[in-house]
Structure 1
Amino acid sequence: MRRRLFAVAGVLLLVSFAGCSMLSGPVTFSAKKATVGEQTLSETHYQEQSVNQSVITRNVSAAGQSKTVTVTNWIAQYDRAIDLGPLGSQRAAVFSVVATPQVDVLGKSFNPIGDYSRERIVMMLQSRYQSIDDVQHVGNYSTTMLGQNTTVGKFSAQAELVGGQSVDVYVHVTRVQVGDDYVLAVAVYPQRIDDTESQHVRTLIHGVEHADGDD
């Protein structure tokens, strides 16, 4: 059965939220920006591809009440070029960071990113691969992100590069809660460079930064 990346990572996205239910007026939730520090990018030879807000608006109804809820997430994407032999140089090593806020409205809790289809999330987080299928868990390891100990899941998968070339990849996924936000980190890279790239991923995870105030 075909499975995409976030079929496996879904448990990390479908989290329980806490907070105050809002009973009047429009409701807005905004995450604070999460990115990778410049020194870490220099050490790992990754470059910023984009740092953007993703705004989601939903109508939520319960107990005869209806609210319009607007949620603002931050999505930061980084990549670097690697030599894939006959396939040439490709920017196929990808690292993405998502910050998404806690949401609780009219007694209903939901995750704005968790509500997206798996396909849409994959396209949001990286544009170097058209698909990531046949995901298999290969192990876990511990590291730190934003000062917290976190477990990183590592998966093998079959991916298709933009352009149609097929390549075996590893996927790393982890998540921590920081204040009112959840911060998710996802890395994807060809298996042939695992010896070096697995260490780069650890460095990138450790180098994630989360804004202390509003931007």
Structure 2
Amino acid sequence: MRDRLFAVAGVLLLVSFAGCSMLTGGPVTFGANKATVSEQALSQTNYEEQSVNQSVITRNVSAAGQSKTVKVTNWIAQYDRSVDLGPLGSQRAAVFSVVASPQVNVLGKSFNPIGDYPRERIVMMLQSRYESIDNVQPVGNYSATVLGHNTTVGKFSAEAKLVGGQSADVYVHVTRVQDGDDYVLAVAVYPQHLDDTESEHVRTLLGGVQHDTSSE
């Protein structure tokens, strides 16, 4: 099934949110602090910044006869680099993305503010180099350190279609950590024939993730 990536990985869609509830006044607002990748890690891997943007999600939450409008602001940082795809030429098909999403609890109800988004939209939020990612299969796990936290990174194989219609077998790496009051998620996608190089690049980028917690 299309874009099974995050359901299979059990990372992006299984965030457990907890925080303070606000039951009076206007919309309840929650905002994450920005998460990005350090310039040093980008320089070491030849990845370049594609975009660093906020993504605002608004939902109505009802419980026990009460209803609140909840506004959640996430940060999404996207990076990529040009790689050689043989007959397809050079394309920016190695992608690394970082998402910061806040803890949320309203009316005693915890939820993932992006958990009910279509998988297609979630993938496009995290990268724009692939039109689809299908037939995701687990390959294994490995340990890494992200923001000083030990974490398990899931590695998956998949069939992908690049923007423009070309097909490629890819590897996907996915993990998340809780840092301060936010959850920080990292996702990498790259063609499988580049695994020797790109798997090391992903480790460097994971180690270079930085998260602004100054306002928390």
* TM-score interval, smaller chain: over 0.9
**Does structure 1 residue 87 correspond to structure 2 residue 75?**
no
Query: What is residue 209 of structure 2 aligned with on the other side?
Result: 208
Deviations 1:71-129 (A, max 9, x none): 00000000000011100000000000000001100011111122211110001100000
**Does structure 1 residue 41 correspond to structure 2 residue 45?**
no
Query: What is residue 16 of structure 1 aligned with on the other side?
Result: 16
- Name the CA distance, whole Å, in 2 between partners of 1:31 and 1:11: 17
**Gap regions ≥5 residues in structure 1:** none
Farther-moved stretch of structure 1 (23-32 vs 87-96)? 23-32
Query: What is residue 136 of structure 1 aligned with on the other side?
Result: 137
Aligned 8 A contact 1:135 1:158 in 2 = yes
Residue 173 of structure 1: how far off its partner (Å): 0.2
Aligned 8 A contact 1:4 1:119 in 2 = no
Query: What is residue 147 of structure 1 aligned with on the other side?
Result: 148
Query: What is residue 199 of structure 2 aligned with on the other side?
Result: 198
Aligned 8 A contact 2:3 2:123 in 1 = no
- Name the CA distance, whole Å, in 1 between partners of 2:205 and 2:15: 24
Tell me which amino acid in the other structure corresponds to 1:200. H
Aligned 8 A contact 2:2 2:132 in 1 = no
Aligned 8 A contact 1:84 1:90 in 2 = yes
Aligned 8 A contact 1:31 1:99 in 2 = yes
Residue 11 of structure 1: how far off its partner (Å): 4.5
Question: 3-state SS of the aligned residue for 2:42?
Answer: helix
Query: What is residue 106 of structure 2 aligned with on the other side?
Result: 105
- Name the CA distance, whole Å, in 1 between partners of 2:127 and 2:100: 15
Residue 61 of structure 1: how far off its partner (Å): 1.3
Question: 3-state SS of the aligned residue for 1:177?
Answer: strand
- Name the CA distance, whole Å, in 2 between partners of 1:69 and 1:166: 39
Aligned 8 A contact 1:10 1:114 in 2 = no
Greater than 4 Å deviation, 4+ residue runs: none
Tell me which amino acid in the other structure corresponds to 1:14. L
Tell me which amino acid in the other structure corresponds to 1:185. A
- Name the CA distance, whole Å, in 1 between partners of 2:2 and 2:59: 30
CA RMSD of aligned residues (A): 1.4
- Name the CA distance, whole Å, in 2 between partners of 1:37 and 1:2: 32
**Gap regions ≥5 residues in structure 2:** none
- Name the CA distance, whole Å, in 2 between partners of 1:120 and 1:173: 17
Question: 3-state SS of the aligned residue for 1:35?
Answer: strand
Residue 60 of structure 1: how far off its partner (Å): 1.1
Aligned 8 A contact 2:34 2:212 in 1 = yes
Deviations 1:168-189 (A, max 9, x none): 0000000000111000000000
Query: What is residue 66 of structure 1 aligned with on the other side?
Result: 67
Query: What is residue 77 of structure 2 aligned with on the other side?
Result: 76
